[in-house]
Structure 1
């Protein structure tokens, strides 16, 4: 026999002498746990990472959040062949890499249990605005999957360094994409890692990819 019960419902037992006798305790129906959502967080200097982030968000059914520096990077800022450019000066002086963001914490941050973090590779590590985001937020209870865009450099130690900076969360091995990577390629990867799958990407680099 199946019984449809609602929270707080009471059941009764028929007794031939006393009549209807209530059972001792009301039926308790636990609320179903809400599944946390997915979020794609990214910084894109020239649009390559933005495209990949969009593919991932669509494939994973995730929300998307762009990291925007208070002082945006210009083309001149990103000229890594110019020793006086902003990005070169920041590379040479780590104290300059604390890049202020217009918004540091996404809305409803606590509701996400899966977070993709995307960035271009700058001198073998994640572009510094991403570090500003990671250091400012608590990743406890979240699964974090880094991804990067680069024409030549691999993910390298960028994900591990971000994990170290975060100090919380379960960080999975990430993936490197070229700016020209197809939507099918990116979507297949995103769908494979939503949940429990881990993907590996290795490589080193010492140049700037945007």
Structure 2
């Protein structure tokens, strides 16, 4: 039987809420992608060009360290990967997560929260961080009040 993992990064809690709802609705396991150094409000100030998030997103080679919190991906066929959209793509810690694990033969379905921007080239950007046999599919932006019935319908469309 195929197993699904919902892996998420949430800096402020908004994305965590979406990931928890998806995992609960899908009957999937839940895994939090944690930075070794948690983000502060000042780190997340996108209006400050010198904030940590601004510096990381300007440097496409930035790979923020992960907290020591292993996950065994061998158990899963599908990974629903959730994160906030930062500067029209995934935060660079998502690249760290992808590059730190073996996703060969896995299907990764992206879903994200955003204050207003779309996925942009996120799927294409993240493809560079996984094995060529991994499949990355763009999923949905989950903004506003999330309805469990809509989530259930979306998961059904995905075959989950």
Give the secondary structure class of the aligned counterpart of 1:76: coil
Give yes or no for the alignment of 1:37 onto 2:7. no
- The correspondence for 1:175, drawn from 115, 125, 140, is 140
Q: Structure 1 residues 117, 86: CA separation in 2 closer, same or farther (over 3 Å shift)?
A: same
- The equivalent of 1:86 in structure 2 is 52
Give yes or no for the alignment of 1:62 onto 2:10. no
RMSD, matched Cα: 1.7
Alignment partners' CA distance in 1, 2:128 and 2:50: 30
Higher relative contact order (CA 8 A, sep 6+): 2
- The correspondence for 1:142, drawn from 85, 106, 111, is 106
Alignment partners' CA distance in 2, 1:187 and 1:160: 26
Q: Deviations over 1:67-126 (max 9, x none)?
A: 00000100010001112211112223334x2111113641x3201011100010110110
The Cα of 1:184 is off from its aligned counterpart by 3.0
Map 1:1-210 → 2, pairs under 5 A: 35-95=1-61, 97-103=62-68, 105-106=70-71, 108-167=72-131, 168-195=133-160
Give the secondary structure class of the aligned counterpart of 2:85: strand
- Please give the TM-score of this superposition, normalised by the length of structure 1: 0.70
Greater mean alpha carbon deviation, residues 154-163 or residues 178-187 = 178-187
The Cα of 1:160 is off from its aligned counterpart by 2.2
The unaligned stretches of length 5 or more in structure 2 are: none
- Please give the TM-score of this superposition, normalised by the length of structure 2: 0.90
Question: Does the 8 Å CA contact 1:52/1:179 hold for their aligned counterparts?
Answer: no
Give the secondary structure class of the aligned counterpart of 1:80: coil
The unaligned stretches of length 5 or more in structure 1 are: 1-34, 196-210
Give the secondary structure class of the aligned counterpart of 2:77: strand
- Of structures 1 and 2, the larger Rg is shown by 1
Q: Name the count of aligned residue pairs.
A: 159
